[in-house]
Structure 1
Amino acid sequence: MDNQEKLLEELEEFKKEKDRVKEIVGKIGGKDNIQNKRVNMLLIGMIAALLFAGGVLRKIPLNVTMYCAMMIGIVKIIWLLYEMSRANHFQYWILSTIEIRINEISGRIKRIEKSIEELKNGD
């Protein structure tokens, strides 16, 4: 009975940890954070202001306006690449941690199986 209680406790602990890891991994992809939204709005606002000032008001030559808008677009692409590399690094770190935990759990399971075999052979 004592071994079964320990196994049940380990199983509950594993389930809690699995849910926690699932929540963390779910937060990694798909959703923009506030900083990304602010940067996106800033860059879009700058492009819109440039195009308005250059195209509608004719305050800036059209060539300069287009070059500046392209430069801001390139900055946006660089920002996207930076954010993707950060997310990929975090995913790699999470997956490495999960692999280490799986290896630890596998070792535990092997030890538990050995103890069960010893108990069966001892009876």
Structure 2
Amino acid sequence: MDNHQKLLEELEEFKKEKDRVKQIVGKLGGRDNIQTKRVNMLLIGMIAMLLFTGGVLRKIPINVTMYCAMMLGIVKIIWLLYEMSRANHFQYWILSTIEIRINEMSVKIKKIEKSLEELKN
């Protein structure tokens, strides 16, 4: 009965850890955080301001306006790639940790099965 209780406790710990990991990965890969939203709004605002001052008001030559807008678009793409790589790295780290834990549990289960077979014999 003692082994059964230990197994139930380990199962509960595993479920808690699984839920915690699920929440962390969901937060990371799910929605935009405040910093990303601010950077997006800043870049979009700068592009809109450039296009307004260059295209409508004619204060900046249109070529310079377009080059600057393209540069800001490229900065946005670089920011997006950076955020994606950071999220992917964290998810890889979490999945590696889960794999290690599963391997540890597999070894424990094999030991338990072996001891049960010895008890039967």
TM-score (norm 1): 0.93
Residue type at the aligned position of 1:85:
S
RMSD (Å) for aligned C-alpha atoms: 1.0
CA shift, 1:27, in A, is: 1.7
Q: In the TM superposition, what are the counterparts of 1:36-51 in structure 2 within 5 Å?
A: 36-51=36-51
Separation in 1, partners of 2:17, 2:115: 24
Q: In the TM superposition, what are the counterparts of 1:57-96 in structure 2 within 5 Å?
A: 57-96=57-96
Secondary structure class of the residue paired with 2:83: helix
Aligned length: 121
Where does residue 114 of structure 1 map in the other structure? 114
TM-score (norm 2): 0.94
CA shift, 1:97, in A, is: 0.7
Residue type at the aligned position of 1:62:
I
- Structure 1 gap segments, 5+ residues each: none
Where does residue 25 of structure 1 map in the other structure? 25
Percent identity between matched residues is 88
CA shift, 1:28, in A, is: 2.3
Where does residue 12 of structure 2 map in the other structure? 12
CA shift, 1:110, in A, is: 0.7
Residue type at the aligned position of 1:22:
K
